[in-house]
Amino acid sequence: AQSVAQPEDQVNVAEGNPLTVKCTYSVSGNPYLFWYVQYPNRGLQFLLKYITGDNLVKGSYGFEAEFNKSQTSFHLKKPSALVSDSALYFCAVSIYTGRRALTFGSGTRLQVQP
Amino acid sequence: NAGVTQTPKFQVLKTGQSMTLQCAQDMNHNSMYWYRQDPGMGLRLIYYSASEGTTDKGEVPNGYNVSRLNKREFSLRLESAAPSQTSVYFCASSEVVTSRTYEQYFGPGTRLTVT
Protein backbone atom coordinates (compact mmCIF):
# COMPACT_ATOMS: atom_id res chain seq x y z
CA ALA A 1 0.00 0.00 0.00
CA GLN A 2 1.16 3.53 -0.66
CA SER A 3 0.94 6.39 1.82
CA VAL A 4 1.89 10.02 2.21
CA ALA A 5 2.66 11.95 5.38
CA GLN A 6 2.58 15.70 5.76
CA PRO A 7 3.80 16.16 9.32
CA GLU A 8 2.79 19.81 9.73
CA ASP A 9 -0.84 20.86 9.83
CA GLN A 10 0.19 24.49 9.41
CA VAL A 11 3.30 26.39 8.38
CA ASN A 12 3.67 30.09 9.16
CA VAL A 13 6.21 32.23 7.35
CA ALA A 14 6.79 35.95 6.86
CA GLU A 15 6.48 37.42 3.40
CA GLY A 16 9.83 37.46 1.62
CA ASN A 17 11.25 34.58 3.65
CA PRO A 18 11.87 31.12 2.20
CA LEU A 19 9.25 28.47 2.82
CA THR A 20 9.31 24.68 3.06
CA VAL A 21 6.33 22.35 3.23
CA LYS A 22 7.33 18.81 4.14
CA CYS A 23 6.21 15.53 2.59
CA THR A 24 7.37 11.95 3.04
CA TYR A 25 6.02 8.93 1.22
CA SER A 26 5.93 5.16 1.31
CA VAL A 27 5.46 3.04 -1.81
CA SER A 28 6.57 -0.27 -3.24
CA GLY A 29 8.33 0.63 -6.42
CA ASN A 30 9.29 3.88 -8.06
CA PRO A 31 7.07 6.77 -6.98
CA TYR A 32 5.41 9.43 -9.05
CA LEU A 33 5.10 12.48 -6.78
CA PHE A 34 2.89 15.53 -7.07
CA TRP A 35 2.14 18.77 -5.27
CA TYR A 36 -1.25 20.44 -5.50
CA VAL A 37 -2.55 23.71 -4.04
CA GLN A 38 -6.11 24.47 -2.97
CA TYR A 39 -7.42 27.99 -2.49
CA PRO A 40 -10.59 28.51 -0.42
CA ASN A 41 -13.72 27.04 -1.99
CA ARG A 42 -11.79 25.93 -5.07
CA GLY A 43 -10.65 22.65 -6.56
CA LEU A 44 -7.06 21.47 -6.48
CA GLN A 45 -4.54 23.01 -8.85
CA PHE A 46 -1.48 21.14 -10.04
CA LEU A 47 1.85 22.72 -9.01
CA LEU A 48 4.57 20.29 -10.01
CA LYS A 49 5.49 16.62 -10.38
CA TYR A 50 8.42 14.25 -10.18
CA ILE A 51 8.32 11.28 -12.52
CA THR A 52 11.97 10.57 -13.24
CA GLY A 53 15.22 12.41 -13.94
CA ASP A 54 16.51 15.49 -12.15
CA ASN A 55 15.78 15.40 -8.42
CA LEU A 56 15.00 19.13 -8.33
CA VAL A 57 11.70 19.86 -9.99
CA LYS A 58 10.48 23.36 -10.82
CA GLY A 59 6.79 24.16 -11.07
CA SER A 60 4.22 26.91 -11.20
CA TYR A 61 4.34 30.22 -9.30
CA GLY A 62 8.05 29.88 -8.43
CA PHE A 63 7.65 26.67 -6.42
CA GLU A 64 10.13 23.82 -6.57
CA ALA A 65 10.49 20.46 -4.89
CA GLU A 66 13.38 18.13 -4.23
CA PHE A 67 13.02 14.38 -4.56
CA ASN A 68 15.19 12.51 -2.04
CA LYS A 69 15.00 8.77 -2.54
CA SER A 70 17.08 7.81 0.50
CA GLN A 71 14.91 9.89 2.82
CA THR A 72 11.69 9.12 0.86
CA SER A 73 10.88 12.82 0.89
CA PHE A 74 9.53 15.35 -1.57
CA HIS A 75 9.54 18.73 0.19
CA LEU A 76 8.00 21.77 -1.47
CA LYS A 77 10.05 24.97 -1.40
CA LYS A 78 9.96 28.57 -2.51
CA PRO A 79 12.81 31.05 -2.09
CA SER A 80 10.62 34.05 -1.25
CA ALA A 81 7.05 33.66 0.03
CA LEU A 82 4.16 35.88 -1.03
CA VAL A 83 0.99 36.60 0.92
CA SER A 84 -0.90 35.21 -2.07
CA ASP A 85 0.80 31.82 -1.51
CA SER A 86 -1.41 31.33 1.56
CA ALA A 87 -3.45 28.21 0.81
CA LEU A 88 -3.78 24.49 1.55
CA TYR A 89 -1.05 22.33 0.00
CA PHE A 90 -1.33 18.61 -0.72
CA CYS A 91 1.39 16.13 -1.53
CA ALA A 92 0.35 13.01 -3.47
CA VAL A 93 1.98 9.80 -4.65
CA SER A 94 1.19 7.23 -7.28
CA ILE A 95 2.87 4.26 -8.86
CA TYR A 96 2.14 2.45 -12.07
CA THR A 97 -0.61 0.05 -11.14
CA GLY A 98 -4.00 -0.79 -12.58
CA ARG A 99 -5.48 1.85 -10.34
CA ARG A 100 -3.15 4.71 -11.29
CA ALA A 101 -4.87 6.88 -8.72
CA LEU A 102 -3.29 9.31 -6.32
CA THR A 103 -2.89 8.85 -2.60
CA PHE A 104 -2.97 12.22 -0.88
CA GLY A 105 -1.46 13.50 2.32
CA SER A 106 -3.68 15.23 4.85
CA GLY A 107 -2.64 18.68 3.69
CA THR A 108 -0.61 21.56 5.15
CA ARG A 109 -2.04 25.02 5.53
CA LEU A 110 0.48 27.69 4.60
CA GLN A 111 0.00 31.14 6.16
CA VAL A 112 2.22 33.92 4.84
CA GLN A 113 2.14 37.02 7.03
CA PRO A 114 2.72 40.47 5.54
CA ASN B 1 -11.88 24.71 -22.90
CA ALA B 2 -13.71 24.37 -19.57
CA GLY B 3 -11.53 21.54 -18.16
CA VAL B 4 -13.45 19.53 -15.55
CA THR B 5 -16.96 20.69 -14.64
CA GLN B 6 -19.16 19.45 -11.82
CA THR B 7 -22.82 19.94 -10.99
CA PRO B 8 -24.32 20.87 -8.64
CA LYS B 9 -22.00 23.14 -6.63
CA PHE B 10 -23.99 22.75 -3.42
CA GLN B 11 -26.61 20.28 -2.26
CA VAL B 12 -28.49 19.56 0.95
CA LEU B 13 -30.12 16.16 1.32
CA LYS B 14 -32.15 14.49 4.02
CA THR B 15 -31.04 11.08 5.27
CA GLY B 16 -32.28 8.39 2.89
CA GLN B 17 -32.62 10.62 -0.15
CA SER B 18 -30.76 9.85 -3.35
CA MET B 19 -28.88 12.05 -5.78
CA THR B 20 -26.40 11.96 -8.63
CA LEU B 21 -23.33 14.16 -8.90
CA GLN B 22 -22.38 14.92 -12.48
CA CYS B 23 -18.87 15.36 -13.87
CA ALA B 24 -17.66 16.09 -17.38
CA GLN B 25 -14.26 16.79 -18.91
CA ASP B 26 -13.39 18.20 -22.31
CA MET B 27 -9.68 17.27 -22.39
CA ASN B 28 -10.18 13.88 -24.07
CA HIS B 29 -8.72 12.14 -21.00
CA ASN B 30 -9.14 8.41 -20.60
CA SER B 31 -9.11 8.21 -16.81
CA MET B 32 -11.58 9.81 -14.42
CA TYR B 33 -11.85 9.76 -10.62
CA TRP B 34 -14.15 10.64 -7.76
CA TYR B 35 -12.68 11.78 -4.44
CA ARG B 36 -14.14 13.03 -1.21
CA GLN B 37 -12.43 15.62 0.98
CA ASP B 38 -12.95 15.69 4.71
CA PRO B 39 -11.16 18.00 7.17
CA GLY B 40 -7.75 16.70 8.24
CA MET B 41 -7.96 13.66 5.96
CA GLY B 42 -6.88 14.91 2.57
CA LEU B 43 -8.66 13.45 -0.42
CA ARG B 44 -9.76 9.85 -0.50
CA LEU B 45 -10.56 7.92 -3.66
CA ILE B 46 -14.14 6.68 -3.94
CA TYR B 47 -14.20 5.20 -7.45
CA TYR B 48 -12.20 5.55 -10.59
CA SER B 49 -12.54 4.72 -14.26
CA ALA B 50 -9.34 3.87 -16.12
CA SER B 51 -11.09 4.12 -19.47
CA GLU B 52 -14.53 4.30 -21.02
CA GLY B 53 -16.56 1.26 -20.05
CA THR B 54 -14.55 0.36 -16.94
CA THR B 55 -14.96 1.34 -13.29
CA ASP B 56 -13.35 0.14 -10.11
CA LYS B 57 -13.55 0.75 -6.37
CA GLY B 58 -11.20 3.02 -4.50
CA GLU B 59 -10.54 3.38 -0.76
CA VAL B 60 -14.05 4.36 0.36
CA PRO B 61 -16.67 3.01 -2.11
CA ASN B 62 -19.40 1.96 0.34
CA GLY B 63 -22.66 3.81 -0.19
CA TYR B 64 -21.75 5.00 -3.69
CA ASN B 65 -22.16 3.86 -7.26
CA VAL B 66 -20.69 5.26 -10.45
CA SER B 67 -21.40 5.30 -14.16
CA ARG B 68 -18.92 6.09 -16.91
CA LEU B 69 -21.50 7.26 -19.39
CA ASN B 70 -19.02 7.95 -22.18
CA LYS B 71 -15.46 9.20 -22.44
CA ARG B 72 -16.44 12.68 -21.23
CA GLU B 73 -18.81 11.95 -18.36
CA PHE B 74 -18.45 10.14 -15.03
CA SER B 75 -21.30 10.34 -12.52
CA LEU B 76 -21.42 9.47 -8.81
CA ARG B 77 -24.67 8.29 -7.25
CA LEU B 78 -25.69 8.19 -3.60
CA GLU B 79 -28.61 5.75 -3.38
CA SER B 80 -29.53 6.41 0.25
CA ALA B 81 -27.65 9.36 1.70
CA ALA B 82 -26.28 9.19 5.24
CA PRO B 83 -24.87 11.99 7.44
CA SER B 84 -21.43 10.34 7.15
CA GLN B 85 -21.50 11.26 3.45
CA THR B 86 -21.45 14.96 4.26
CA SER B 87 -18.30 16.06 2.47
CA VAL B 88 -16.87 17.93 -0.47
CA TYR B 89 -16.73 15.78 -3.60
CA PHE B 90 -14.19 16.29 -6.34
CA CYS B 91 -14.05 14.81 -9.78
CA ALA B 92 -10.73 14.60 -11.61
CA SER B 93 -9.38 13.37 -14.93
CA SER B 94 -5.98 12.48 -16.30
CA GLU B 95 -4.24 11.04 -19.29
CA VAL B 96 -2.31 7.85 -18.54
CA VAL B 97 0.02 6.69 -21.26
CA THR B 98 1.73 3.32 -20.96
CA SER B 99 3.68 3.32 -17.71
CA ARG B 100 3.57 7.03 -17.02
CA THR B 101 1.06 8.71 -14.75
CA TYR B 102 0.23 12.26 -15.64
CA GLU B 103 -1.15 14.92 -13.37
CA GLN B 104 -4.83 14.94 -12.55
CA TYR B 105 -7.04 17.92 -13.27
CA PHE B 106 -9.74 18.66 -10.73
CA GLY B 107 -13.21 20.11 -10.93
CA PRO B 108 -14.42 22.87 -8.56
CA GLY B 109 -16.15 20.44 -6.22
CA THR B 110 -19.64 19.75 -4.89
CA ARG B 111 -20.34 20.58 -1.26
CA LEU B 112 -22.87 18.05 0.04
CA THR B 113 -24.61 18.20 3.39
CA VAL B 114 -26.78 15.32 4.60
CA THR B 115 -29.06 16.14 7.53
Q: Can you give the pLDDT at residue A27?
A: 86
- Give the nearest chain A residue to B57 (CA atoms): A99
Q: Calculate how close chain A gets to B69, using CA atoms only, in Å.
A: 19
Weakest mean pLDDT among B5-9, B21-25, B103-107: B103-107
Identity of the residue numbered B41: M
Q: What is the distance, to the nearest Å, from the Cα of residue B91 to the centroid of all Cα atoms in its chain?
A: 4
Contacts of A34 in chain B (CB under 8 A): 103-104
Contacts of A3 in chain B (CB under 8 A): none
pLDDT digits (tens, 9 = 90+) for A37-63: 999 888 899 999 998 888 999 999 999
pLDDT digits (tens, 9 = 90+) for A55-114: 999 999 999 999 999 999 999 999 999 999 999 999 999 875 555 678 899 999 999 999
**A61 φ/ψ angles, rounded to the nearest 5 degrees:** 60, 25
Identity of the residue numbered B105: Y
Q: Can you give the pLDDT at residue A102?
A: 84
- Give the nearest chain B residue to A48 (CA atoms): B103
DSSP state letter for A72: T
| CA A75 to each of CA A53, A67, A112, B8, B30: distance values in angstroms, whole numbers, following the listed order | 16, 7, 17, 35, 30
Q: Does A43 touch chain B (CB under 8 A)?
A: yes
- Give the nearest chain A residue to B89 (CA atoms): A43
Average pLDDT rounded to a whole number, residues B5-18: 96
State whether residue A83 is helix, strand or coil. Answer: helix
Residues sharing a CB contact under 8 Å with residue A99, sequence separation 6 or more, in sequence order: B45, B48, B50, B56, B58
**To the nearest whole number, what is the mean pLDDT of chain A?**
91
Identity of the residue numbered A69: K
Please check the confidence at residue B38 and state whether its pLDDT lies above 80: yes
- Compute the distance between CA of residue A8 and CA of residue A107 in angstroms, rounded to an integer: 8
Contacts of A96 in chain B (CB under 8 A): 99-101
